[in-house]
């Protein structure tokens, strides 16, 4: 365990401001960037919970206003746009890794580049911005950070699990069965291996940072091999 940092670094404060965040309460933003491995009294978990909801509402509202599609299509895009992997991609674009406060072992284990940690930090930063600046300002920030994905094709194609389900039904096979076959790694960098099987056809496996992502990748691998 390392001695917890008690002040937000000046370079980190400047980085946040340059990327559109509204920084008033330094302690709040310090918590938003602090991983539990530091031993600090406040870390990002509660802010992550809040930011996840703010992000979900903002993206759902944007999709509802801009897209005439059916509920299923809207839900498909929403799930992709707010996924842990997509949040991690936003964090990487911002260069968040070097500003995350981690315990020595967690950093040596690669937590600063973990999809789980980066995705969580993105959500915690949004939670902190909501508390410091309110919903309207955070909605504007999300629109800016997610602009390329919102205006582009992210999430528009059929989800691999849906595609596999329809393929199995269309070819008169039983539906796909997903099984978690392995879970490994430290808590901040977990790896999940999932096997998907279509009886009397075959199976495929994939390993990702979350069970949901592993199921998606396994379905994609199955379709590539058998579809």
Q: Which three-class secondary structure string do you get for 168-184? A: HHHCCCCCCEEEEEEEE
Q: Which helix (H) or strand (E) holds 191?
A: strand 191-198
105 and 193 share one domain: no
Domain residues for the domain of 70 are: 10-151
Q: Considering the domain boundaries, does residue 175 fall inside one?
A: yes
Question: In the predicted model, is pLDDT for residue 45 greater than 50?
Answer: yes
Task: Answer with the one of 123, 151, 179 that is the final residue of a domain.
Answer: 151
Question: In the predicted model, is pLDDT for residue 69 greater than 90?
Answer: no
pLDDT, tens digit, 9 for 90 and up, residues 89-112: 899 999 999 999 999 999 999 999
**How many Å apart are CA 47 and CA 52, to the nearest integer?**
8
How many residues are recorded in the chain? 227
200 and 179 share one domain: yes
Question: In the predicted model, is pLDDT for residue 40 greater than 50?
Answer: yes
50 and 103 share one domain: yes
Alpha helices in the chain, H assignment, sequence order:
10-18, 26-32, 45-66, 71-81, 84-94, 104-108, 115-133, 135-145, 147-151, 160-170, 211-226
51 and 115 share one domain: yes
37 and 128 share one domain: yes
25 and 88 share one domain: yes
27 and 136 share one domain: yes
Question: In the predicted model, is pLDDT for residue 79 greater than 70?
Answer: yes
Mean pLDDT score of the chain, rounded to an integer? 90
> At 5, is the pLDDT very low, low, confident or very high (cuts 50, 70, 90)?
low
Report the percent of the chain where pLDDT is more than 70. 95
Q: Considering the domain boundaries, does residue 199 fall inside one?
A: yes
**How many Å apart are CA 81 and CA 150, to the nearest integer?**
8
C-beta contacts of 26-29 below 8 A and 24+ residues apart = 28/128, 28/131, 28/132, 29/125, 29/128, 29/132
- CATH label of the domain that carries residue 190: 3.30.160.20
137 and 198 share one domain: no
How many domains would you assign to the chain? Answer: 2
101 close to 38: Cβ distance less than 8 angstroms: yes
Q: Considering the domain boundaries, does residue 92 fall inside one?
A: yes
> What angle do the packed helices 71-81 and 45-66 form, to 10 degrees?
140
In this structure, are strands 191-198 and 202-208 parallel, antiparallel, or unpaired?
antiparallel
132 and 165 share one domain: no
Q: Considering the domain boundaries, does residue 4 fall inside one?
A: no
Active site residue ranges: 52, 123
123 close to 48: Cβ distance less than 8 angstroms: yes
Task: Answer with the one of 151, 177, 205 that is the final residue of a domain.
Answer: 151
- CATH label of the domain that carries residue 142: 1.10.1520.10
59 and 146 share one domain: yes
Full-model pTM: 0.72
Question: In the predicted model, is pLDDT for residue 119 greater than 90?
Answer: yes
138 and 196 share one domain: no
144 and 181 share one domain: no
Mean pLDDT of the region 24-53? 96
């Amino acid at each position: 365990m390392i001695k917890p940092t008690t002040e937000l670094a000046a370079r980190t404060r400047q980085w946040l401001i340059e990327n559109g965040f509204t920084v008033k309460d330094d302690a709040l933003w310090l918590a938003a960037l602090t991983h539990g491995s530091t031993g600090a009294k406040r870390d990002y978990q509660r802010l992550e919970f809040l930011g996840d909801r703010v992000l979900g509402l903002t993206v759902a509202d944007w999709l509802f206003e801009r897209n005439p599609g059916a509920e299923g299509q809207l839900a498909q895009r929403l799930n992709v746009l707010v996924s842990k992997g997509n949040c991690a991609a936003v964090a990487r674009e911002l260069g968040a890794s070097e500003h995350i406060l981690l315990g020595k072992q967690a950093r040596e284990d690669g937590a600063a580049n973990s999809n789980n940690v980066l995705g969580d930090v993105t959500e915690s930063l949004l939670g902190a911005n909501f508390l410091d600046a309110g919903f309207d300002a955070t909605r504007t920030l999300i629109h800016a950070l997610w602009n390329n994905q919102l205006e582009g094709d992210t999430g528009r194609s059929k989800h691999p699990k849906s595609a596999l389900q329809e393929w199995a039904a269309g070819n008169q096979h039983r539906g796909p069965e997903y099984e978690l076959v392995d879970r490994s790694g430290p808590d901040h960098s977990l790896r999940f291996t999932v096997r998907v099987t279509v009886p009397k056809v075959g199976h495929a496996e994939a390993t990702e940072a979350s069970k949901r992502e592993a199921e998606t990748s396994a379905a994609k691998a199955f379709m590539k091999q058998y579809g």
